[in-house]
Amino acid sequence: MTRRLALFSALVAAGLLAACSSPATAPATTTSSATGSENTTSATTDAAPEGEVDLNFAIFSQDQQPAVQQVLDAFEKENSNIKVTLQVIPWTDYWSTLQTTSSGGTGPDVAWMLAAEIGPYLDGGALLPLDDTIKDAGIDVSGYPAELVKLYQSGGATYALPKDFDTIGLWYNKALFDAKGVPYPTADWTWDDVISNAQKLTDPATGTFGIAAPLEAQAGYYNTICQAGGYVISPDGTKSGYDLPASIQGIQFWTDMVNKYKVSPTLASFSDTEAVAQFMSGKIAMMYTGSFYALRFHNDPYASKNFDVQVLPKGPVSNASVINGMGNVAFASSKHPEEAKKLAVFLSSPEASGIYSATGAVLGSYTDTQQAWVNSFPEFHAQVFLDMVNGAVVYPVSKNTDAWASQESQFLTPAWTGTQSVQDAASGLATAMNTALAAEQG
């Protein structure tokens, strides 16, 4: 049987995901170019051979699609009676589509999941526990970062294993540093070094800025809040830390780049052209962002030639990085729950982790597989992303993360635009977040 690859974009919006629920008939197949500029669609109606199980697996990244396909090939080689259709749903549609289709019973059997999104699915009983399948597969869970494993556990059960992880580094453009005669960042840099060198690298005449300071949580202020000694959410998950003086200091680091030092484009500029696109165009000298962009930079001729990365500069307390990782979940609505669980576990297995790392798609989550990822990018000092694991702070989540995380942009935007103090903006966010956290407890 030929493999079927479904790239869902306009089809998702059109409500054609009901085709995913049929185990006996292949859904419409859409193929697209790497740029998404050309699409051709063909429908296959061949019935599955007797005894064959068809599963649907949803992801949101075309960048990772080739590596994921390699993992699926390995899975099908070991499980010849199972065929998997890969669905690539655009990020802008992914979570709403997953929520709608999973609750309606027409969703995928297995899907990518983030810890920040998993809460409602657990509350609704939408996911299958994987502990027995993990045990049957002989996987030693201690080989994964322990804090990431905990993100996907609830009530003593494991609902996903991390398939990858990412940390944050200081990416920089060597060509812009060379043009201004500025030495490259070192592992000893502090916040003050970032500010002083961003000033040297900013050139209004050429429209070049020293650093990108978008309103970004995971790659931005979550890190500097921790580096200043604050926190987003208390260790027991019951209280916001946004109104702590240290947390305010961590946010102020970024708003000052825009409003005080004027070494970053404005928030409105990032709304027009995202920060990473401006960075890749050679208009920004430095950018805090994650290991997840290494493959994109590697594949871009300009970025591959001119970019490099260093560990995060140290704040008042540390140079801590946020660590996060994605998991694979199996849905209770699957018509083939045992096969779905087997697929979900394999997708995060040591074998899969090795494939992800070796292809450079993402940093595989399992120990002893990460060096292959580093070796995939000889033009970058990619080792810094592994170095940042020591002292890393796990991505902040709660039972219903979205209830408060969705309000971060609303409350912090005035601080980025300079129409409200960081203290007032953070205080308002803390109040709203505490209300949301109290609702979780009640």
Residue 391 domain-assigned (yes or no): no
Residue 46 domain-assigned (yes or no): yes
Amino acid at 101: T
Residue 390 domain-assigned (yes or no): no
Mean pLDDT score, 29-55: 48
How does DSSP assign 320-341, residue by residue? Answer: --EEB-EEEEEBTT-S-HHHHH
Instruction: Name the residue among 138, 167, 122, 114 with its Cα closest to residue 292.
Output: 167
Q: Are residues 66 and 160 in the same domain?
A: yes
* DSSP 8-state assignment for residue 219: I
The rounded distance, in Å, linking the Cα atoms of 22 and 16 is 12
Q: Are residues 73 and 106 in the same domain?
A: yes
| pLDDT tens figures, 363-380 | 999 999 999 999 999 999
Q: Domain limits at 301?
A: 168-320+398-441
Residue 178 domain-assigned (yes or no): yes
Q: Are residues 176 and 151 in the same domain?
A: no
| pLDDT tens figures, 291-328 | 999 999 999 999 999 999 999 999 999 999 999 999 99
pLDDT the model gives residue 103: 80
The rounded distance, in Å, linking the Cα atoms of 215 and 407 is 12
Instruction: Name the residue among 104, 131, 114 with its Cα closest to residue 333.
Output: 104
For the CA atoms of the chain, what is the radius of gyration? 22
Report the SS3 class of residue 209.
Answer: strand
Q: Are residues 146 and 205 in the same domain?
A: no
Widest CA span of the chain, in angstroms?
Answer: 69
The rounded distance, in Å, linking the Cα atoms of 227 and 352 is 33
pLDDT the model gives residue 51: 82
Q: Are residues 367 and 275 in the same domain?
A: no
Residue 26 domain-assigned (yes or no): yes
Task: Tell me the backbone φ, ψ of residue 79, rounded to 5 degrees.
Answer: -130, 80
Checking if the pLDDT of 243 tops 70, the result is yes
Q: Are residues 205 and 225 in the same domain?
A: yes
* Percent of the chain clearing pLDDT 90 (strictly above): 86
Number of domains in the chain: 2
Residue 382 domain-assigned (yes or no): no
pTM here is 0.85
Q: Are residues 160 and 173 in the same domain?
A: no
Q: Are residues 210 and 235 in the same domain?
A: yes
Spatial contact of 155 and 118, defined as CB atoms under 8 Å apart? no
The rounded distance, in Å, linking the Cα atoms of 360 and 195 is 32
Q: Are residues 273 and 316 in the same domain?
A: yes
The rounded distance, in Å, linking the Cα atoms of 110 and 343 is 7
Least confident of 47-51, 166-170, 405-409: 47-51
Given 375, 390, 417, the domain boundary residue is: 375
Q: Are residues 416 and 341 in the same domain?
A: no
* DSSP 8-state assignment for residue 208: B
Instruction: Name the residue among 260, 272, 244, 219 with its Cα closest to residue 416.
Output: 260
Spatial contact of 112 and 131, defined as CB atoms under 8 Å apart? no
| pLDDT tens figures, 165-205 | 999 999 999 999 999 999 999 999 999 999 999 999 999 99
Read off the CATH number of the domain in which 225 is found. 3.40.190.10
The rounded distance, in Å, linking the Cα atoms of 238 and 433 is 10
Residue 226 domain-assigned (yes or no): yes
Mean pLDDT score, 205-232: 98
Residue 384 domain-assigned (yes or no): no
Which has more confidence, 271 or 36? 271
Q: Are residues 226 and 288 in the same domain?
A: yes
Q: Alpha helix locations (H) across 36-130?
A: 65-78, 91-104, 118-123
Amino acid at 267: L
Q: Are residues 158 and 177 in the same domain?
A: no
What number of helices (H) and strands (E) belong to the chain? 21, 16
